[in-house]
């Protein structure tokens, strides 16, 4: 079976900036694939090139074995001929049409027979539980319902590929979760391929079979959510995927010390055999990957924040701060105390590598 989408050396240049730089990617039929990255990383531009709203400055784009765009052959298929479904962040439902007419619009454009239009519209409305609202105008409906209209409209034409551009960013947090399940359920029902653009790592992980992390137009890593969580390709991916601690370390006599705080003890854990002695290293770990233990490196509790399920700690080893988050049942340390830590997993990165900025 040919790939749902194939991108070859896809490049887009805005002015002097390479918004997308030589992107190569194959997305299989029926996959749910996410583009994840901070704003301005080129993920939306890539999606718009796939949709056909932007032409490629270089490269080729195939869908289902068919050429859609090629800078070499000067070929470009306009968006209306690509037969994709697409859902936008700002819903983009037409306020002058009823819910029913919104959903039926693409079918009418295709000049399908009347009974088929009715059938498929009703099916799409049913799948998004909008049957009751069919005769209403979108503005009378909530944000979640409006986004469901957009989904129904995209589903109605039975597309092979569904493009979703931050579809949940304009919704309340609790609605976001609900809609996420709904998108997944629609995919299971209709079997289309999903391309999902987001800056929210939890959303991307929850939805995707595979995902791609992007920075400044360049792909950083492609893989399954758990792979990316467990084995981030670099410091940027590590920091983008969740709350992170980076601790500057020094290795001496086969022991790991916190740089500048040798007297506080050693960090438990293995030292990789392939460390380059000329490079300064940071070790990276998640706040949940550190335990309070009877022994281990010392740390001082400078802030303890009770968050219900989880207690969030700010600790100091010398001048180095680190965050720990533990379920309240395992949160023994009190404010001002000195405690001991055990590290469950360490990743080693060159200290000079960039992290994702926190804003």
Site for another protein in 308-347 (CB under 8 A): 308-310, 312, 325, 327, 329, 344-345
**Integer Cα distance of 80 and 51 in angstroms:** 9
Compute the chain's Rg from CA coordinates.
Answer: 25
**Which is nearer to another protein, 101 or 259 (by Cβ)?**
101
The region of 8-16, 69-77, 299-307, 335-343 touching another protein under the rule CB under 8 A is: 299-307
- Go through 98-137 and write b for each residue having 16 or more CB atoms within 10 A of its CB, e for each that does not: bbbbbbbbbbeeeebeeeebeebbbbbbebbebeebbeeb
Q: Of 148, 159, 5, 146, nearest to 80 (Cα)?
A: 159
Beta bridge mates, 197:
35, 165
Least distance from another protein to the Cβ atom of residue 228, Å: 10
Q: Does 348 bind another protein (CB under 8 A)?
A: no
Q: Does 90 bind another protein (CB under 8 A)?
A: yes
Instruction: Tell me if 87 sits within 8 A of 150, measured CB to CB.
Output: yes
Q: Does 358 bind another protein (CB under 8 A)?
A: yes
Site for another protein in 9-38 (CB under 8 A): none
Q: Of 213, 279, 231, nearest to 251 (Cα)?
A: 279
Least distance from another protein to the Cβ atom of residue 57, Å: 16
**Integer Cα distance of 160 and 145 in angstroms:** 23
Q: At what angle do helices 99-109 and 143-156 cross, to 10 degrees?
A: 20
Q: Does 112 bind another protein (CB under 8 A)?
A: no
**Which is nearer to another protein, 59 or 85 (by Cβ)?**
85
**Which is nearer to another protein, 201 or 257 (by Cβ)?**
201
* Contact with another protein (CB under 8 A) among 12, 82, 148, 176: 82
Least distance from another protein to the Cβ atom of residue 65, Å: 21
**Which is nearer to another protein, 88 or 348 (by Cβ)?**
88
Q: Of 344, 299, 338, nearest to 322 (Cα)?
A: 299
- Does an H or E element contain 49, and which? helix 43-51
Least distance from another protein to the Cβ atom of residue 131, Å: 20
Q: Does 106 bind another protein (CB under 8 A)?
A: yes
The residue ranges of DSSP E strands in 88-228, in sequence order, are 161-165, 193-198, 210-215, 218-223
Read off the tokens for 279. 């490079």
* Contact with another protein (CB under 8 A) among 27, 205, 267, 297: 205
Residue linked to tokens 């281990």: 296
Least distance from another protein to the Cβ atom of residue 178, Å: 11
Three-class SS state of 90: coil
* Contact with another protein (CB under 8 A) among 279, 306, 338, 353: 306
* Contact with another protein (CB under 8 A) among 84, 196, 257, 264: 84
Footprint of another protein (CB under 8 A): 51-53, 78-86, 88-90, 92-96, 105-106, 109-110, 139, 150, 153-154, 157, 163, 170, 201-202, 205-206, 225-226, 229-230, 241-243, 286-289, 303, 305-310, 312, 325, 327, 329, 344-345, 358-359
């Amino acid at each position: 079976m040919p790939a749902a989408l194939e991108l070859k050396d896809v490049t887009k240049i805005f002015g002097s900036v390479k918004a997308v730089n030589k992107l190569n990617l194959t997305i299989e039929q029926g996959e749910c694939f996410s583009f994840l990255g901070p704003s301005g990383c080129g993920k939306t531009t890539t999606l718009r090139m796939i949709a056909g709203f932007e032409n490629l400055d270089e490269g080729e784009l195939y869908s289902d074995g068919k050429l859609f765009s090629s800078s070499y052959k000067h070929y470009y298929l306009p968006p209306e001929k690509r037969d994709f479904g697409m859902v936008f962040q700002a819903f983009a439902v037409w306020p002058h049409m009823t819910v029913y007419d919104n959903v039926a619009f693409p079918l009418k454009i295709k000049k399908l027979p009347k009974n088929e239009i009715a059938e498929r519209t009703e099916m799409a409305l049913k799948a998004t539980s909008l049957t009751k609202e069919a005769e209403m105008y979108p503005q009378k409906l909530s944000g979640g319902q409006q986004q469901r209209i957009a989904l129904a409209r995209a589903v109605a034409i039975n597309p092979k590929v569904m493009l979703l551009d931050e579809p949940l960013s304009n919704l309340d947090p609790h609605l976001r979760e609900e809609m996420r399940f709904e998108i997944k359920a629609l995919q299971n029902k209709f079997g289309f391929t999903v391309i999902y653009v987001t800056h929210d790592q939890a959303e991307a992980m929850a939805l995707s079979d595979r995902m791609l992390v992007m920075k400044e137009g360049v792909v950083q890593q492609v893989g399954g959510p758990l792979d990316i969580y467990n084995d981030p390709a670099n410091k940027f991916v590590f920091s983008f995927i969740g709350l992170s601690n980076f601790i500057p370390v020094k290795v001496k006599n086969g022991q790991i010390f916190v740089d500048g705080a040798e007297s506080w003890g050693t960090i438990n854990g293995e030292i990789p055999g392939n460390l380059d002695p000329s490079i300064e290293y940071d070790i990276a770990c998640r706040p949940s990957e550190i335990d309070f233990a009877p022994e281990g490196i010392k740390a001082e509790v400078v802030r303890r924040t009770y968050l219900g399920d989880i207690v969030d700690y700010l600790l100091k080893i010398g001048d180095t701060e680190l965050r720990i988050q533990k379920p309240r049942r395992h949160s023994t340390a009190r404010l001002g105390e000195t405690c001991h830590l055990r590290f469950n997993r360490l990743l080693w990165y060159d200290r000079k590598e960039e992290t994702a900025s926190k804003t």
